[in-house]
Amino acid sequence: MFLTEFREKLTTSFGKSMKDATDKEVFQAISLMIKDEIYRKWQHTQKSYQEGQYKQVYYLSMEFLLGRLIENNLLNVGWFDVCKEVLMESGLNTDKVFSQEHDAGLGNGGLGRLAACFLDSLASLKLPGHGVGIRYKYGLFQQKMVNGYQVELPDYWLKDEYMWETKREEEAVEVRFGGTVEVYYEEDNLRFKHVDYERVRAVPYDVPIVGYQNEVVNTLRLWSAESMNNHFHFQSPNGHDYYHYLDYKRSVEQISEFLYPDDSFYEGKILRLKQQYFLVSAGLQNIIKKHKQTHHHIKNLPNKIAIQINDTHPSLVVPELMRLLLDDEGLGWDEAWAITTSTVAYTNHTTLNEALEKWPENMIRDLFPRIYMIIEEINERFCKQIWYEHPSLRDSIAQMAIISYGTVHMAHLAMVGSFSINGVAKLHTTILKKQVMKPFYQIFPERFNNKTNGITHRRWLLNVNPELASLISSTIGNGWIQEPKKLIQLLPFANDSSFQNAIANVKQKKKEDFAAYIHGKYGIVIDTTSIFDVHIKRLHGYKRQLLNIFHILHLYQLCRENPNLPMTPRTFIFGAKAAPGYHFAKNVIKLITAAAEKINSDPASRDKIKIVFLENYNVSLAERIIPAADVSEQISTASKEASGTGNMKLMMNGALTLGTHDGANVEIKEMVGPENIFTFGLTSEEVFDYQEKGTYRARDVYNSDQRIRTVMDQLVTRFFSKDDVEFKHIYYSLLKRNDEFFVLKDFDGYVEAQQLVDQTYRQQSIWLKKSITNIAHSGKFSSDRTVSQYANEIWGIHPVTMS
């Protein structure tokens, strides 16, 4: 059946038979078959949503880090196995065929990948929910390593046709920037007219989001900015208008040109703010238009629609919804405010001060004059509310205001304008309530709630590790696929030696697959009997890749001192992109690659330590590494990592976590028990305590620990570098700037935990028992659980029944 249709598709689309078709044509033919299969379902799903009985959710996000969709879509339509079989029998290399799809890298890291996992869970749980985002022409930059340095190249992912999108020209809307607002009276009512604005055409491209073997196909709508054809009339004989038009066209198209490559570093870039308003305005106009088509009345918006904003990036949705309700729908302020604050919900993803969005007041006023007026009004009313209703907080008004000292605080706007405010792991939510957002929690206690993150087990287990998935199914049946909590049924097998062996064989196979891949691609040889110790995530000070490399440098020192050092050989695998302007992070990358060069070739260490820095870490690369990992490095400074989701993916694939008491690590430990995870380091309370009292002295740690001194002095003595300035930045950030992320403080605990990892690994049966226990408890971290909680506790939406 599949084979016949596949042959036919190749013939009708490319005039080719299986043996002449290129990998790209094979990929395209399969994609076309999938489209044939899902488009009818898609239409059907949309129709049933339009009939209106369901409340729907829109997930607004500046990032959707989809990666590839081909395998995921094959799995969800139920063709994954048969397709692989047919390709293999036809002598085609499935890997090469699927690699024809360029990763959709429309995100920086965890926040964007979470959005993608949520879409998969929404559709698979038959929930009426859609994504709204931007169709960036360039995704996150491609990382090239040149002499051990990161170099950024543009990621023109749309170079070839994107198979999964459909342009919906007829759904285009207009978004307005700049201009001024005229205020006038009309029948005793104050009215506002926005004039002299620049017009931008927002055109949506829809990507189908296929539910797992069900009838539901939801939509990810990505907006693209185009110029209006009729913005100018070309009348002037000297052509000035024409050049003016070209300027305009260029400036408009810039809006959806590229994704800002920053993660946890806020920069007040005007174009980024325009992108945010573009997303919000186009998305909302479209939502309201559809709502009115089905339900006629705007006043029941909160009964039919929930809008979740992914971090503060889309928080202009609050004043934009107000604007539409006030100016276009003619509602009064109180009524409009009640609707807005019953429709919008906000998720916070970081407590890092440097990542919190704050825009200059002038920028907002100039770019969106009407929106600015509305924010001012919201702010005034909110400050009054504190003054009259919460007199104990009067002293905090300046600190809580939405606009203060020429700055607009987006998190404040988001909190004031939504009915739900959630953190992404238990610890994170507690920190929001008790520290970062404490006064807001006092005013709106009922708004705060926790939704611990999750990952889609369909992509991160079924798709990436079919060998493990089928071993699990043959042991406990396949009920876990629909209900991932059933993975707990593996627990009785944790001690079973034949199951342990089977798990060990799968891990070995995945390690070999990965080793073969990097050998083929980079010519790097790794020892598949060594421990694969994996640290994959964006490069950031708080994620402490530096602590990892310091430990490696310490081990190297031990190897040089003792040729007979008892140590299980280890492959330290890093994958990380640094923000282009983040010098410290780039310096850490260079330190890792410089250390790799020396340590990998030194006879004193090369049989024990191998460092691999993987170029261009992205979703597809993660999918290859994760199944092969033994150790999962989750070593952020306690309190800094809101949740982490890589920790969950690695656990689900049987890696043991080596982690701090941070983010979701805390809940992983709660689930698996302290004996099945390696934890170390300061607690978040201790970190806060040091920060408040200012009692941490990095130099004291340096002075008192010979191991640290040895490692650190190598940074400034040409040990890893031709000059002694290359790593000075790192050296001084630790000693002169007092080690903001407590790397030195946690060093001792980390070394000890690493020793325990080594010893435990030598007792294979004990290791495997722990590994199985981790897999068994990973069901809790399926995004199906997370999304169900959002659906029940925030959105009030229910699964659909499709006729």
Residues labelled as active-site residues: 349, 537-538, 543, 645, 649
Contact residue for ligand 26V among 465, 643, 653, 754 (CB under 6 A): 643
| Least CB distance to ligand 26V at residue 582 (A) | 12
| Least CB distance to ligand 26V at residue 9 (A) | 38
H helix count then E strand count, the chain: 33, 25
Query: Residue 345 or 772: which CB sits closer to ligand 26V?
Result: 345
Query: Residue 355 or 558: which CB sits closer to ligand 26V?
Result: 355
| Least CB distance to ligand 26V at residue 429 (A) | 12
Compute CA distances 461 → 455, 464, 564, 734, 794, whole Å.
10, 5, 39, 39, 28
Residues 6+ apart with CB under 8 A from 114: 310, 424, 453, 645, 783
| Least CB distance to ligand 26V at residue 537 (A) | 9
| Least CB distance to ligand 26V at residue 757 (A) | 23
- Within 295-314, the residues that bind ligand 26V by CB under 6 A are 311
Q: How far apart are CA 641 and CA 424, in angstroms?
A: 10
Task: Identify which of 610, 536, 518, 538 has the alpha carbon closest to the alpha carbon of residue 570.
Answer: 610
320 part of the interface to ligand 26V, by CB under 6 A:
no
Tell me, letter by letter, the H, E, C secondary structure of 149-213: EEEEEEECCCCCCCCCCEECHHHCEEEEECCEEEEEEECCEEEEEEECCEEEEEEEEEEEEECCC
Query: Residue 30 or 425: which CB sits closer to ligand 26V?
Result: 425
Angle (CA) 231-237-241 rounded to 5° is 25
Total binding residues toward ligand 26V, as defined by CB under 6 A? 22
Per CB under 6 A, the segment of 168-176, 370-378, 515-523, 635-643 that binds ligand 26V is 635-643
305 contacts 294 by C-beta, under 8 angstroms = no
Contact residue for ligand 26V among 72, 264, 528, 786 (CB under 6 A): 264
Query: Residue 538 or 551: which CB sits closer to ligand 26V?
Result: 538
Sign of CA pseudo-dihedral 137, 141, 144, 149: positive
Backbone angles phi, psi at 57, to 5 degrees: -115, 145
575 contacts 517 by C-beta, under 8 angstroms = no
Contact residue for ligand 26V among 663, 720, 751, 775 (CB under 6 A): 663
Contact residue for ligand 26V among 97, 106, 424, 651 (CB under 6 A): 424
Burial profile 2-20: b = 16 or more Cβ within 10 angstroms, e = fewer? eeeebbebbeeebebebee
CA-derived radius of gyration, the chain: 27
- Within 525-584, the residues that bind ligand 26V by CB under 6 A are none
As beta bridge partners, residue 571 has 532, 610
Query: Residue 101 or 311: which CB sits closer to ligand 26V?
Result: 311
Residues 6+ apart with CB under 8 A from 83: 2, 30, 74, 94
- Within 440-479, the residues that bind ligand 26V by CB under 6 A are 453
- Within 780-799, the residues that bind ligand 26V by CB under 6 A are none
645 part of the interface to ligand 26V, by CB under 6 A:
yes
Contact residue for ligand 26V among 71, 103, 171, 262 (CB under 6 A): 262
Tokens encoding 485 = 């909590």
649 part of the interface to ligand 26V, by CB under 6 A:
no
Q: How far apart are CA 213 and CA 77, in angstroms?
A: 5
Query: Residue 134 or 730: which CB sits closer to ligand 26V?
Result: 134
656 three-class SS = strand
355 part of the interface to ligand 26V, by CB under 6 A:
yes
Per CB under 6 A, the segment of 256-264, 516-524, 712-720, 772-780 that binds ligand 26V is 256-264
Q: How far apart are CA 569 and CA 359, in angstroms?
A: 50
Compute CA distances 100 → 22, 163, 297, 482, whole Å.
10, 11, 46, 30
Q: In this chain, which residue has its C-beta nearest to ligand 26V?
A: 110
Query: Residue 311 or 667: which CB sits closer to ligand 26V?
Result: 311
| Least CB distance to ligand 26V at residue 121 (A) | 14
- Within 480-499, the residues that bind ligand 26V by CB under 6 A are none
| Least CB distance to ligand 26V at residue 684 (A) | 13
Per CB under 6 A, the segment of 257-265, 401-409, 566-574, 712-720 that binds ligand 26V is 257-265
| Least CB distance to ligand 26V at residue 339 (A) | 28
Tokens encoding 191 = 């009215």
DSSP 3-state percent helix, strand, coil across the chain (nearest 5): 55, 15, 30
Contact residue for ligand 26V among 105, 211, 644, 654 (CB under 6 A): 644
| Least CB distance to ligand 26V at residue 120 (A) | 15
How crowded is residue 69: how many other Cβ atoms within 10 Å of its Cβ? 24
Tokens encoding 277 = 């308003």
Residues 212-251 as x/- pattern, contact with ligand 26V by CB under 6 A: ----------------------------------------
As beta bridge partners, residue 534 has 573, 632
How crowded is residue 478: how many other Cβ atoms within 10 Å of its Cβ? 13
User: Which spans in 51-93 are helix H?
Assistant: 70-77, 80-89
Contact residue for ligand 26V among 10, 104, 111, 431 (CB under 6 A): 111
**600-604 own/partner pairs: CB under 8 Å, 24+ apart:** 602/556, 602/560, 604/556, 604/559, 604/560, 604/563
Contact residue for ligand 26V among 110, 131, 417, 627 (CB under 6 A): 110
Query: Residue 129 or 179: which CB sits closer to ligand 26V?
Result: 129
| Least CB distance to ligand 26V at residue 663 (A) | 5
| Least CB distance to ligand 26V at residue 791 (A) | 18
Per CB under 6 A, the segment of 15-23, 133-141, 348-356, 435-443 that binds ligand 26V is 348-356
Where does this chain bind ligand 26V (CB under 6 A)? 108-111, 114, 260, 262-264, 266, 311, 349-350, 355, 424, 453, 641-645, 663
